[in-house]
Structures are given as C-alpha cells and as structure tokens.
Structure 1
C-alpha cells in the first residue's frame, strides 16, 4: 500500500465492481453504472438504493446480513454486467436462437430479465460451491479411500489445501483470458479511485493513477476469506463429529455455508475499520491482497475517467455518511 494511504484515517463504505468497459459503483444512497460505449462516450445510469433490511430488520442482524448482502450484490452485479454487455453485442450471436425467440414470446422483457438474473445467480453460486467445496471434498475422499486409517485432522488439512489450490488456479486461469484482462484493468481503476477518495485528494486522473490497485475490502479478498473460514469451521465441526462419508461431508459443507459467509462478512467489516492501524488486521488481509495480483491490472487514463465519474455519482449528499 502506498505511503500516502497508510496515514489516511477515512475509510469509505463505497465499493464497486468492474464491468464490460465500465464500472458499477455503490454508495450509501444510490448506485451508478458508467460505461464507455463504442463511440467513446460515457453512458451513465444512476439508481436509488432500496435495502431489504429496511422492510425486514432481522435481515440486518450480524451473521444473517452477510448472506443477504452477498446475494444482493450478486443480483445487482449480474444486472449491471448485462447492462454493460448491451453496448458491446457479440456479432456472432446477433441472431437470437429459437429458444430465445420462444422466451421473448412467452415472457415480458422484465420477466425475462428477472429469469436470466435468477438463473445466473444460481449458476454462479452453484459453480463456486462445486469448485471450491464439493470438488475438494470428492478429490480428498477419492485419495484417502486407499488410506482408511488416515486421521481426521489430516483429512481436513488435505481438503483445506485443495480448496486454496483450486481457488488459486481458478484466479490464474481467469487472469490469462484476453477478454478478462480489460475487465481486471477496470477493477484496478475502481480500487485506485476509492483509495484516492479516502486519501482526501481531488479526484483527478493524475491523483488516481499513483494510488495502489490492491484494496483490503475487495471481493477477491472476501472470497479467499470465505474459503479460509470454511476450512477452519469445517475442521472444528468434523473434529467434533468425524464424518468421512463424501456425501455427508458435502452436505455438512453446504449447511455451514450461510454461517461461513456471515462470519466472513463480519470479519471484513472489522478489517475495513482497522487494516491501516492494526498489525493483526494487516497480517490477516495479506493473502487476499496478494491474490489481487491476478484480479487487478493497471488501468489506462480512459478507464480511470470512468471510475472517477462512477464514484462522483454515488457520493452521499451528507459528507461523512459513507464512512465505514
């Protein structure tokens, strides 16, 4: 982290997501999508935020709010990605398939969008669970099938190492994809812009460019902590109730998932407040920051302009309302 940010006392709750040639930025009152279209113009979309916890206060309780906010972020993220993708249509897929034509006839555009978003979220969560929980459990079960006397602590260790290894390989694979490279550049622009804002500097391209691109409250760090917490929690649970059956272990992992996400969310809130003035917080966030080497790239000036504009659009009307 750059020296100018280490002394910065202000930490904002504003966060974002990289899109296709754009950025989604989310503030305390509203969210903004800014996309650079094919003509080079900035297209802006601003929406007021409605929080489900305002209608159902119990969903804002610690440990519960983590899962609620995670799902809400996924839904909004998928919608934003679909919106940004409309500015860069796939020429080869311009002609709708017979299935797409049938959907258009049977569903209104709003219902169709809702169905696509729901399916995308289910597939996204399902793929994550499959790769980072189910697959390591099955591989470990297959390997240790030949070692029936293997201790439970060893089984937990092997499974945990596989989870981290698969997650790391997944990040490396994504970072090597040409289409993803520019998205990760926008990801870097988002981080740099938030750092610049937290440092109290004017939001200019020059000031943003010199900021670090690794941010402790990044989604990459969140996902790594989810995996790490799942390793610790499952080790405790399986230490008390030794389960070797692959299917039962998988079911136990799935049952623990909401608790894992809830604990991770509360951990990230604590880290967000103390990472710049607490040595333990810095140590705990170090692995997640390192993994951002694969999910963030240095942006160009045009990308920084997009990030600056998206942040400006979500700044709260009352100064300090976005303090973390």
Structure 2
C-alpha cells in the first residue's frame, strides 16, 4: 500500500467511496458532479493553478497488487473562503443572585465563524475490505509528512471535524432536539445539502441567539460532543498525535472539532530526514504488528508518495529500502526522504 495525489482518472473510485461513506461525512457527498468538482480542485491544487488559500490536497491509498484505490484523505489549506464556515462555540453563561443564594453556570451554544482561515485535515475514508494491516494508520497519518514538508502552504493551526453520534438508523439525537425545530427536514437531507456546499439556509434559518444546553433533550445532551462509533478510531489517532477538543461542535450532529498547532503535531515535530540506500537485504515491515513501523515520504509535492517500512531499516542517517520500496516512493540511491515512526513510542493506538 502507498499514498499518492489523486489523478483525473480516479473519479469512479472517488464516487464509489462517496456512495459508501454514509450519513455524516459531509466532505464526501453522494453526488457525482460535486465529487468531480472536488477532484478537479485537487488536481488544480497539485498543479499550483490555484491560490494557496484555495487549495485542496486530496490523496489516494493504492493497493500495490491491484492498483485499486482503497481509501482517500485530504488537507484543506484554509477553510471558510469559498463557503461560510459554521460551528457552535460551547460557552458558559453565569446567573447569580445573592439574595436567594443561587450561582448557576449554564453551558451555551453560539453560532460561530471563528474557525475561518484554519487549515483542515479531512475527507478520511477507507473501504471496509481494506480496514486491516495498519492501512487506516497509513492513510490518516501520511498527511502529516506533507504538512511537515510544506508548512508554508498551511496556517498555524489545523482542525478536524469529527462525525457526531447517530444511531444505527442514522438518527441524530442532537439534530432531533435542536436542528429539526429550525430546518423542518431530516438530518440526512440537511447533511446532504451541506455536503453539496449549499449553506445559505444555515444563515437564514439558524437562531442568532445563544442556545441553552439544558433546554435540549437528555439524549441530545448525552450525544453532545460525542463521535460516531465508526469515528472513534480516527479520534484516538488524532488525540495520540496531539489534537484536542477546541470548544467547537458541529451545528447538525454535535460532533466535536479537535485542533492542534501544526508544528506541534507529533508526526510533524518528530519527523527527520534520511539518505536512501537501496539494499536487497533491507528488512521488510510486518504489517500484522502495531510496533516497528515507520512512515516514509519522498518529500515530493505533485509526485508525493508515502509508504510504510520497517523501523529497523533505519541506521543512523541512512534508510535502507528494497528496490521495490524505492520504486514505490520514486526515489533513488542517495535521495533524501522524510520519516517518522507510525505511532508514538509510548502508545499503540
């Protein structure tokens, strides 16, 4: 398995993933025209045909044996320019009366555009039949090596919006308790419109005044800031890299937003440069294990490549690669590569 930028020929696979992604993944709308537009924007970004703030870097995971696309992931250079970016900011309101001895702190939700201009890590989806052998880790964390190599293309802070909780029937308690009262549509319909980029209805219909959290239903309050079960592994990976909840949630499903300073992300901060030595005796990675694995990129831009190698293939400042690994990464003897361990050394998340 390896990671590369998307190409125009990838549209059928991208649309297949959009159809399989389900409710709540707004960056993968089940709409061929929108997915084509996303692909076109990514291709233009890697050609440097767009302004830096408008770029979308979309990457594909390729099965080396079949050339099939197994998953996709992306980086947005700066959010909230083409479309208005909405979140609820989780705040506090204090009510106090000395006369009757009451001091009450109440959580509130304010409609906000505060995260405009942040970079975003997004559009992570791995086909179910490929969810094994560290593929999810490779797909998600490959983006950190792109951030480490090209920090000038991104902001200081980066966010990730996490899919909020919904039940097996796709019912969102947060939506049922709040959004439905203002939009008079199903959660899936609002989610779909947002994925299409149609966000004018949010500004037109959402309340401009704070929402008092205790006024929501009990199950909505329980779902507040909670991720969908399928998203829990992705959240754990982000937290292990240094992302934390930043006080903002999704306005539809109540899913949390997490953020980090790019330079402080573990895989960005700890990545190092090595010189390639092509060696037929280079140890091969054991993908059935969680330890002993290292991410390696070729430091490219439009030809960016990432794969997994054995950590013990590193000897001081040299990384030993087999001829096949070097071909996958499109590197030669003596070339410089960037590498970092797949997981923090103290955890096996």
Pairwise same-fold verdict (TM > 0.5): no
> TM-score, normalised on structure 2?
0.22
Instruction: Considering fraction of residues, name the structure with more helix.
Output: 1
Instruction: Considering fraction of residues, name the structure with more strand.
Output: 2
> TM-score, normalised on structure 1?
0.23
* Higher RCO, 1 vs 2 (CA within 8 Å, ≥6 residues apart): 1
